[in-house]
Amino acid sequence: MDHLVQTIAVYALPVLFSITLHEAAHAYAARRFGDSTAYILGRVSLNPIKHIDPFGTIAMPLMLYFATNGAFVFGYAKPVPVAFGNLRNPRWHSLWVSLAGPGCNFAQAFVWAFASILLGALGVDEPFFLRMAMAGVLVNLAMCVFNLLPMPPLDGGRILVSLLPPRAALTLARLEPYGFFIVLALVMTGVLGALWLRPLIELGYDMIALLLTPFTALMR
């Protein structure tokens, strides 16, 4: 139980930021490109309560954590409502609206990684803060990569729909009602982790390390 409490304490802030800013980024981008649906509903907000789904964000991850002894955790936030037909250019602007969430997560991963370097440069060796910074990188890279999976209703699926020719895009879009169950099956069988999450998360770490090279050189 002590380990669970420590894990929750370390991950709570990174998870709240990753979910809140991810959904707020979608809402902001949608408003920027012509759809005010999310704005009217108060979803252009940094308030986590606006974006947390009681079951998907809290109950499901906890149930899965206890059921699998921490080996498998899965959850989701309350999706931001976007009326894609209201966008000024529905095809291309929907791409940017969908990309805004994962892009925001990658930016957060960079910030957490920079924070870990800064803590070291300042001589801060408190394990809690160092673990939180590392958790922030992992959580945001995982959320970024997971949402980029090219399967509707995930962001990657909507990005792919925007890029494909109309007929192929329509075929892929028709999978959206079944997408959640397909993704859940891929997660539970380990296919998603082995073939998508782990390789792309490692690539994300490499990209962040490259972007941080000038800062690490300055702080030596």
Residues classed as catalytic: 23
CB-CB contact of 159 with 150 (8 Å):
yes
CA–CA separation, 77 and 69 (whole Å): 23
DSSP codes joined into one string, the chain:
-HHHHHHHHHHHHHHHHHHHHHHHHHHHHHHHTT--HHHHTT-S---GGGT--IIIIIIHHHHHHHHTTTS-----PPPPP--GGGSSSHHHHHHHHHHHHHHHHHHHHHHHHHHHHHHHHTT---HHHHHHHHHHHHHHHHHHHHHTSSSTTSHHHHHHHHHS-HHHHHHHHTTHHHHHHHHHHHHHTTHHIIIIIHHHHHHHHHHHHHHTHHHHHHT-
Q: What per-residue string of b and e applies to 160-192 under the rule 16 or more CB within 10 Å gives b?
A: bbbeeeeeebeebbeeeeebeeebeebbeeeeb
